[in-house]
Amino acid sequence: MNSKQLAENGQATVEFALTLPFLFLFSLCVVQVGSVANDQLVLNHAAQTAARAISLADVTAESAQQIALTTISREVNLREIQIKVNLDQDSANVALHYDREINVPVIGKLFGDLSLRSSATMPRELVNSDN
């Protein structure tokens, strides 16, 4: 091997060493975005499931909140979800709010915490017992 080939091999090593931190940072971003997207999908599903459970029951507004809480705790392992239930004669609405902490050290400093929200409205399907 001559000295020119050794210099080119060294240059490739230096270029790889310079780009490796950026590739690592990019892969962390992809993983974090996937994790946040998964949490949003879970939140959407939980809101729909809770709204459906409330819409099928003949309940008061107070017990609707408890039904939503029970349903969501079975569906989701996210902590500290804020639940707001709006129940009227024709529909049941469940609104969820979750503050998502970004745990990746560098990414968390760049983007901070995210606020995820989801809501679902279902028509009430009350069974009339007069028949």
The answer as to whether 68 is a domain residue is yes
Distances (CA, A) of 32 to 28, 65, 72, 129: 6, 32, 23, 50
- For 102, the domain range is 3-123
Q: Give me the numbers of helices (H) and strands (E) for the chain, helices first please.
A: 3, 3
The answer as to whether 131 is a domain residue is no
Say if residue 79's pLDDT is above 70: yes
3-state secondary structure of 86: strand
The answer as to whether 128 is a domain residue is no
Count of the separate structural domains present in the chain: 1
**Once rounded to an integer, what is the mean pLDDT over residues 51-77?**
83
Say if residue 72's pLDDT is above 90: no
User: What's this model's pTM, rounded to 2 decimal places?
Assistant: 0.77
The answer as to whether 129 is a domain residue is no
Cα–Cα distance for residue pair 70/84, rounded to 1 Å: 13
The answer as to whether 61 is a domain residue is yes
Mean pLDDT check: name the lowest of 16-25, 38-47, 88-97, 100-109.
100-109
